[in-house]
């Protein structure tokens, strides 16, 4: 009987311990669930963009006019307003950004006057130019430092003048050349960016007259441009 009583007591204790463990398992955990973490979106330069720009340009080329008596005469340098629009696309990989951009500009930098002897006869300085360029740079989060180079075209200088004998003659035409430059751009918001950019543009022009006959004398339209612009970046 004593053995039976001891066995019954042991069985009762075992059942009680099992019930206590089951009850503890049903109690709520003392540890809080892991807090959810929503990462802030990282800015990227990748995407299409379009914008406007304005600045100043100045003729630095040795534009020349051919005079039948005095030969090839240097023209005069001129500067003025430059403004227009641009569209492009950037792709960012790591810190590096590569892209393409094209722009079209009004430019009052033309050296379209003529020289006859030692007398200068001013011509129309209004014109236009455009570029098709590659861009490559390094991004420091929202700041981008880049270089750019490519093709240039336009009717800027070297095509029009006034001869005291033959009068006013016009030779407007679109010529091609090249351009190179650099700039800094900053993303003010995820969609709007602002930039400052400098370009050197060289557009070859050959359009002069020798007593009514055209003479292909170089009148390079070389000019610098310093401009500021804003872009809207599409998501």
Contacts of residue 122, defined as CB under 8 A and 6 or more positions apart, other chains included, come to 76, 113, 162
User: Which token pair is 233?
Assistant: 């970046």
CA angle 55, 73, 170 (to 5 degrees): 65
Backbone angles phi, psi at 11, to 5 degrees: -65, -40
Classify burial at 172, counting beta carbons within 10 Å of its beta carbon; exposed 0-12, middle 13-18, buried 19 or more: exposed
- Please count the CA atoms within 13 angstroms of the CA of 112 that sit on its side-chain side: 21
pLDDT digits (tens, 9 = 90+) for 81-118: 999 999 999 999 999 999 999 999 999 886 555 555 55
* Claim: this prediction has a pTM higher than 0.75: no
Domains and CATH numbers, the chain: 47-233 (2.40.160.20)
Query: What is residue 59's predicted lDDT score, i.e. its pLDDT?
Result: 81
pLDDT digits (tens, 9 = 90+) for 162-204: 455 555 555 567 888 999 999 999 999 999 999 999 999 988 7
Query: What is residue 203's predicted lDDT score, i.e. its pLDDT?
Result: 85
What integer is the mean pLDDT of 61-79? 59
Is residue 209 within 8 A of residue 158, CB to CB? The reply is no
Determine the Cα–Cα distance for residues 149 and 138; give it in Å rounded to an integer.
Answer: 16
Query: Which band of pLDDT confidence, cut at 50, 70 and 90, is reported for residue 8?
Result: very low
Maximum distance among all Cα pairs of the chain, rounded to whole angstroms: 146
Backbone angles phi, psi at 15, to 5 degrees: -65, -40
């Amino acid at each position: 009987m004593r053995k039976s009583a001891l066995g019954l007591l042991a069985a009762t204790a075992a059942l009680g311990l099992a019930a206590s463990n089951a009850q503890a398992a049903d109690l709520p955990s003392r540890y809080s669930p892991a807090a959810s973490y929503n990462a802030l979106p990282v800015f990227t330069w990748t995407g299409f963009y379009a914008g406007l720009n304005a600045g100043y340009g100045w003729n630095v080329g040795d534009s020349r006019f051919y005079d039948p008596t005095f030969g090839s005469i240097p023209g005069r340098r001129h500067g003025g307003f430059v403004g227009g629009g641009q569209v492009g696309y950037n792709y960012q990989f790591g810190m590096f950004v590569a892209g393409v951009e094209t722009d079209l500009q009004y430019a009052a930098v033309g050296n379209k006057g003529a020289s006859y002897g030692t007398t200068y006869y001013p011509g129309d300085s209004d014109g236009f130019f455009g570029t098709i360029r590659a861009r490559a740079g390094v991004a420091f989060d929202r700041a981008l430092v880049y270089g750019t180079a490519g093709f240039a075209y336009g009717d800027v200088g070297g095509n029009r003048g006034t001869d005291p004998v033959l009068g006013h003659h016009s030779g407007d035409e679109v010529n091609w050349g090249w351009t190179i430059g650099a700039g800094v751009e900053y993303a003010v918001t995820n969609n709007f960016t602002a930039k400052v950019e400098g370009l050197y543009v060289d557009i070859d022009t050959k359009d002069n007259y020798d007593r009514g006959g055209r003479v292909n004398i170089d009148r390079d339209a070389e000019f610098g441009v310093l401009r500021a612009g804003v872009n809207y970046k599409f998501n």
